Amino acid sequence: MTSTSSAEMTFETKYADVVAAALSPELAEKIPRTQVTIGRKGDQVVVRIEADDKNALRAALNSYIRWMNVAEETAKEAVRR
């Protein structure tokens, strides 16, 4: 029997288009033992992660949370300048 772990994160921000675009290249860089999809719903970025095990899921979650925060903070700074 094969088991997988999965998670879905919804990140609400007025910079959803920028965040989603910034995350897109990361889809080409595979995180081992995971499959990731990214979508948008208005001001929300939705990240779905399916992983072969809990360790791979945790690693992918940590990476995407960090990348979303960096993208949003960068967009905020760009607007301020």
pLDDT given at position 2: 67
26 C-beta neighbours (distance < 10 Å), count: 16
CA–CA dist 26, 67 (Å, integer) = 9
At residue 67, the pLDDT reads 96
Confidence (pLDDT) at 1: 42
Which residues are 9's β-sheet partners?
A: 47
CATH code of residue 21: 3.30.310.50
Residue-range definition of the domain harbouring residue 61? 5-80
Number of domains into which the chain is organized: 1
Residue 73, Cβ neighbours under 10 Å: how many? 11
At residue 80, the pLDDT reads 85
Q: What is the mean pLDDT of each run of 10 residues along the chain (81 residues)?
A: 86 96 91 94 97 95 96 93 80
